[in-house]
Amino acid sequence: MVKVSETAARDDAPSAMSRPHVPQEAGPLAGVRVLELGSLIAGPFAGRQLADFGAEVIKIESPDRPDPMREWGRARVNGHTLWWSVQSRGKKCVTLDLKSPRGRELFLELCEEADVILENFRPGTLEKLGLSPDEVWRVNPGLIIARVSGYGQTGPDAQKPGYASVAEARGGLRYLNGYPDQAPPRTGISLGDSLASLYALQGILLALYWRDARGGTGQVVDVSLVESCFSLLESAVPDFAATGVVPGPSGSGLKGIAPSNIFRSADGKWVVIAANQDSVFVRLAAAMGRSELAADARYSNHAARGVHQEELESLIAEWAAGYSHDELTSVLDRHSVPNSPVSSIEDIFEDPQLRARGMLVEVPDKQLGTVVQPGIIPKLTRSAGEIGWNGPLTPGFHNRDIYKGLLGLSDEDLQDAKAEGAI
């Protein structure tokens, strides 16, 4: 596993400075300052990725209602969940009550020094707080305001609450998942949230480029969880529009795409074999010792294999069952046939490829010991990302750093703001 040094992962994160920004690390987003509002997954996951690449991400939590992510996750060390440490890595945490007059004033002062606001409230929340885009643009017209919500900021369902599972269902992903005539299962992660986070990140980067490289202004990045899921439906949209065909769940493979499925080895392990391209199927037939299959009219091209998918995959299943997992993957590798075990997280921790790529990173922590973090993607050759530190365990850990170092408040100002309940 890749290790992050104690220095890079120290509890006292780099101090905030007045503009021009002092980069926290040499990442490609050094100098970009982000105010992260909201909680849990959809917004904060995008904030985590911005922090990975050098942005100064200031996570704002209510003094009396910290992010519930602090309590989510299965593993706990000294009373703290490790998922929080992953989701909030590299961020600075402050407390601020946006409902209080003083809290609103402080937020607008932060907006003057920021590049991006990232929030995943229900639409209309910022407006109720008196912090609409028009209000914050009065103090900083260049602000990018990324808004992640279930259905988007407009439309008849904009005010409805939306979670990942709801978005996956409404956006069409759930209907395609599972097996015919069975209840459509969900993926074991909050996929809809993560997809929306990636689109939010993309939108923020696009808006920053348009502002900074093209002379543009601030704008709203409007991301819907439902639309993020819908965007992955591939050919379903044009196919239905043209033919009225409604694709449904196809189990462990894809209908008409053969062979591309899971097959069980002699020792009971599942292996994906993906040889649906014509040239690859020739190699699979050779690996099976059945080169004649590639010349058989039933299997000689993509369309024919799709028609005869069931019988072809039965032949492959029978062949695969004659090998142990290691033997099966070895013979497939020798013939350059794409394959993979169906990996558990335990398998991933032993995966030499993922280890070589730095996808398991040890980040030391004074209170938690070592936290193993998922690595950073994408890999940039000249301005790589870096995990600065684990998410601060105490709400408001960086209050003095931000409010004194960035906004110039005195100790007395801080005490007054705290007494008022603003921080």
Angstrom distances, CA of residue 363 to CA of 3, 56, 373: 6, 19, 7
Any domain includes 238:
no
pLDDT band at 328 (very low <50, low <70, confident <90, very high): very high
pLDDT band at 26 (very low <50, low <70, confident <90, very high): low
Among 314, 346, 378, the domain-final residue is: 346
Same domain, 276 and 299: yes
Any domain includes 153:
yes
Q: Residue 13: its pLDDT value, please?
A: 41
Q: Read off the amino acid at residue 93.
A: C
Same domain, 81 and 217: yes
pLDDT band at 5 (very low <50, low <70, confident <90, very high): low
Same domain, 324 and 385: no
Same domain, 151 and 39: yes
Q: Read off the amino acid at residue 219.
A: Q
Among 346, 372, 396, the domain-final residue is: 346
Q: Residue 320: its pLDDT value, please?
A: 98
Same domain, 76 and 159: yes
Give the up-direction half-sphere exposure of residue 65: CA atoms within 13 A in the CB hemisphere: 7
Are the CB atoms for 173 and 164 separated by under 8 Å? no
pLDDT at 75 over 90: no
Any domain includes 299:
yes
pLDDT at 14 over 70: no
Q: Residue 268: which CATH number? A: 3.30.1540.10
Q: Residue 22: its pLDDT value, please?
A: 39
pLDDT band at 74 (very low <50, low <70, confident <90, very high): confident
- Per-residue pLDDT, averaged over 58-83, amounts to 92
Same domain, 368 and 340: no
- How many Å apart are CA 85 and CA 44, to the nearest integer? 12
Any domain includes 252:
no
Nearest to 177 by CA among 239, 254, 258: 254
Total number of domains in the chain: 2
Counting residues of the chain whose pLDDT is more than 70, the rounded percentage is 95
Higher pLDDT, 9 or 325: 325
pLDDT at 225 over 90: yes
Any domain includes 7:
yes
- How many Å apart are CA 58 and CA 36, to the nearest integer? 6
Among 293, 313, 346, the domain-final residue is: 346
Any domain includes 247:
no
Any domain includes 237:
no
Same domain, 361 and 342: no
Same domain, 281 and 361: no
- Per-residue pLDDT tens digits for 277-304: 999 999 999 999 999 999 999 999 999 9
Same domain, 208 and 71: yes
Are the CB atoms for 370 and 362 separated by under 8 Å? yes
pLDDT at 195 over 50: yes
Q: Read off the amino acid at residue 191.
A: L
Same domain, 205 and 309: no
Any domain includes 240:
no
Same domain, 40 and 60: yes
- Per-residue pLDDT tens digits for 96-122: 999 999 999 999 999 999 999 999 999
Least confident range from 8-17, 254-263, 395-404: namely: 8-17
Q: Residue 275: its pLDDT value, please?
A: 97
pLDDT at 20 over 70: no
Q: Which domain holds residue 313?
A: 260-346
Q: Residue 220: which CATH number? A: 3.40.50.10540
What's the maximum distance between 2 C-alpha atoms anywhere in the chain? 84
- Active site residues per annotation: 193
Tell me the pLDDT of the chain averaged across its residues: 93
pLDDT at 220 over 50: yes
Same domain, 73 and 170: yes
Q: Looking at the whole model, is its pTM more than 0.85? A: yes
